[in-house]
Amino acid sequence: MTELPPLGIGTWQNTDPEACASAVATALDLGYRHVDTAEIYGNEEHVGDGLARSAVDREDVFLATKVHSDSTGLTYDDVIETARGSLDRLGVDYLDLLYVHWPTGDYAPGETLPAYDDLVDEGVTRNVGVSNFEPRQVEAAMDVLDEPLFANQVEMHPLLQQEELVAHAQEHDYYLVAYSPLARGDVFDVPEVSEVAEKHGVSEAQVSLAWLTQKDNVVAIPKATSREHIEDNWASLDLELDDEDVATIDDIEREDRHLDHDKGPWNQ
Ligand code: NAP
């Protein structure tokens, strides 16, 4: 299986052309090798500009995008057309990973997923992923796909620990990609996270990211726009949490979900 870099740069809501291209290029030049976007974010061109602007070669970057039922649709033809469009918008000749963005709307495993298999055969994407899937939905997708399922991208952070999905990903050996890994900024207001951060003299962001990326099969994709935030998050890879730190975070018993398809906002 291709190795997925432990930390990626998220780009949702980074729609300003210059800010988005600059964040992607800054991240790549600092060492990030995983970039996350989606057709529905409306910023694939800007992400592509950032890739082109950076000194890093395309082959050294893991580039992921997504197809959403609410934007382009998830019928067989929609997926094929959208993925080919993503190549144009990003200015690349292949994707490393193409996700089903949400299992909603016109998503139907038998109709949608064969398009993903065919896009691998065509060389449009190297891997197939899903996002916002429960374990039973992951298993249904695995039953239909010819390709191995590479990743499931879900909301995950110290306030939403996703134990069941982590165990499922480890058992079936796919990646769990943690989105909103800073709980959209809420991790800065959690006493347990601050306690561990103070002990190590680092930011709460670093603690949250290290707690995620120290788990087998889990990687994180914090969104950051400023160089300061992009650097701070990258430094989490040098932070080693000990068993006591991990237990302190594990013991937080909250289920704070920021995104819920039924409650919105969900077009992420
Ligand atoms: P997030 O990464 O948890 O939080 C982003 C927020 O934290 C931004 O306001 C950012 O500010 C700030 N931030 C970043 N690093 C920081 C630091 N070191 N110190 C202080 N503040 C910091 O939330 P997210 O954007 O929801 O999730 C990350 C990515 O996951 C998205 O961008 C997207 O790529 C993906 N995602 C996927 C789905 C899905 O359905 N598959 C849903 C949501 C998100 P600045 O931007 O000002 O730096």
For residue 168, what are the contacts with CB-CB under 8 A and spacing of at least 6? Answer: 135, 138
For position 259, what pLDDT does the model report?
83
Query: 110 C-alpha vs ligand 1 centroid, how far in Å?
Result: 32
**CB-CB contact of 72 with 78 (8 Å):** yes
Q: Residue 42: inside a domain, yes or no? A: yes
- Print the domain residue range for 137: 9-253
Q: Residue 98: inside a domain, yes or no? A: yes
For the segment 1-26, what is each residue's pLDDT rounded down to a tens digit?
A: 678 999 999 999 999 999 999 999 99
For the segment 75-92, what is each residue's pLDDT rounded down to a tens digit?
A: 999 999 999 999 999 999
Atom of ligand 1 lying closest to residue 181 CA: 3
Mean local confidence (pLDDT), 228-249: 98
Q: Residue 4: inside a domain, yes or no? A: no
Active-site residue identified among 41, 174, 175, 179:
41
For position 66, what pLDDT does the model report?
98
Query: 89 C-alpha vs ligand 1 centroid, how far in Å?
Result: 22
For the segment 161-211, what is each residue's pLDDT rounded down to a tens digit?
A: 999 999 999 999 999 999 999 999 999 999 999 999 999 999 999 999 999
CATH of residue 144: 3.20.20.100
pTM: 0.97
H/E stretch holding 100 reads strand 97-100
End-to-end CA, the chain: 27
Ligand 1 pocket, residues with Cβ under 6 angstroms: 10-12, 36, 101, 131-132, 153, 179-185, 203, 205, 221-226, 229, 232-233, 259, 268
Backbone φ and ψ for 124, nearest 5 degrees, come out as: -70, -40
Mean local confidence (pLDDT), 147-166: 98
Radius of gyration of the chain (CA): 18
Q: What's the whole-number average pLDDT of the chain? A: 96
Q: Residue 177: inside a domain, yes or no? A: yes
Atom of ligand 1 lying closest to residue 205 CA: 18
pLDDT greater than 90 at residue 264: no
Q: Residue 167: inside a domain, yes or no? A: yes
Query: 229 C-alpha vs ligand 1 centroid, how far in Å?
Result: 10
Q: Residue 34: inside a domain, yes or no? A: yes
Query: 225 C-alpha vs ligand 1 centroid, how far in Å?
Result: 9
Atom of ligand 1 lying closest to residue 188 CA: 20
Pocket mutation for ligand 1, best pick of 32, 162, 177, 180 (most atoms within 8 Å of C-beta)? 180
Q: Residue 210: inside a domain, yes or no? A: yes
Half-sphere exposure of 261 (CA within 13 A, CB side): 13
Could you give the number of structural domains in the chain? Answer: 1
For position 261, what pLDDT does the model report?
67
H/E stretch holding 63 reads strand 62-67
Q: Residue 268: inside a domain, yes or no? A: no
Active site residue 76: no
